[in-house]
Amino acid sequence: MPFSSRDLKDWLADKYKTIAPEVTVDIGPGCGTYSDLMRPIHKGTWKAVEAWAPYITKYGLWGKYDHVVVSDVRHCDLSSVHYGPDLVIMGDVLEHMDRVEAVHQIHRMQGWSDHLLIAIPVGDWPQEDVGGVWFEMHRSTWQHDEMLDVLGDGTVAHETTGRISVFHWKIPE
């Protein structure tokens, strides 16, 4: 679904406020939840990488982001989006990839951005395509500790409700 749980969104907004990024890239924005929540907190440039082009018009993403790239992030030339953003948000997007793809994208973002905020459902959340949108299918299941292992050094904060987990990673000093 292009919408996500409200769980721990305030935690993520607090991290965003602390980071105060000049450039934020939202991977898989869906309806623009993170832009709606965080953009009023701190002035900065917001960019998005959205795989399902109809969401751009349906959810008014051109009004929520300064720049929108229509691409599946797994096949996106990141330099077409920005040269090294301050923050990448991967909110409720990694479960839509198989585990190998998701791990690869996390490591790719860690090599591209100074900070990474991740929100992901933990445990079994089966979901097929939604309204014919195959990108909405859940292809992997995660546990909180598994994501901590993938993120490795640089994880500065994390939290879980047991249903949703959130993580803040930054380049290790």
- pLDDT tens track, the chain, 173 positions: 444 556 799 999 999 999 999 999 999 898 899 999 999 999 899 999 988 788 789 889 999 999 999 887 778 887 767 777 899 999 887 876 888 998 999 999 999 999 999 998 886 655 445 555 445 554 567 889 988 999 999 999 999 998 899 999 999 87
DSSP letter at 130?
B
Residue 91 half-sphere exposure toward CB, CA atoms < 13 A: 30
Residue 101 is assigned to a structural domain of this protein: yes
CATH code: domain of residue 152: 3.40.50.150
Residue 55 is assigned to a structural domain of this protein: yes
Domain containing residue 143? 9-170
Residue 69 is assigned to a structural domain of this protein: yes
Position 140 scores a pLDDT of: 64
Rounded CA separation 24/68 (Å): 12
Residue 3 is assigned to a structural domain of this protein: no
Residue 100 is assigned to a structural domain of this protein: yes
Rounded CA separation 66/10 (Å): 23
Residue 2 is assigned to a structural domain of this protein: no
What is the total count of domains within the chain?
A: 1
Residue 4 is assigned to a structural domain of this protein: no
Percent helix, strand and coil across the chain, each to the nearest 5: 35, 25, 40
Q: What token pair was written down for 154?
A: 């640089």
pTM: 0.88
Residues 171/159, Cβ–Cβ less than 8 Å: no
Residue 153 is assigned to a structural domain of this protein: yes
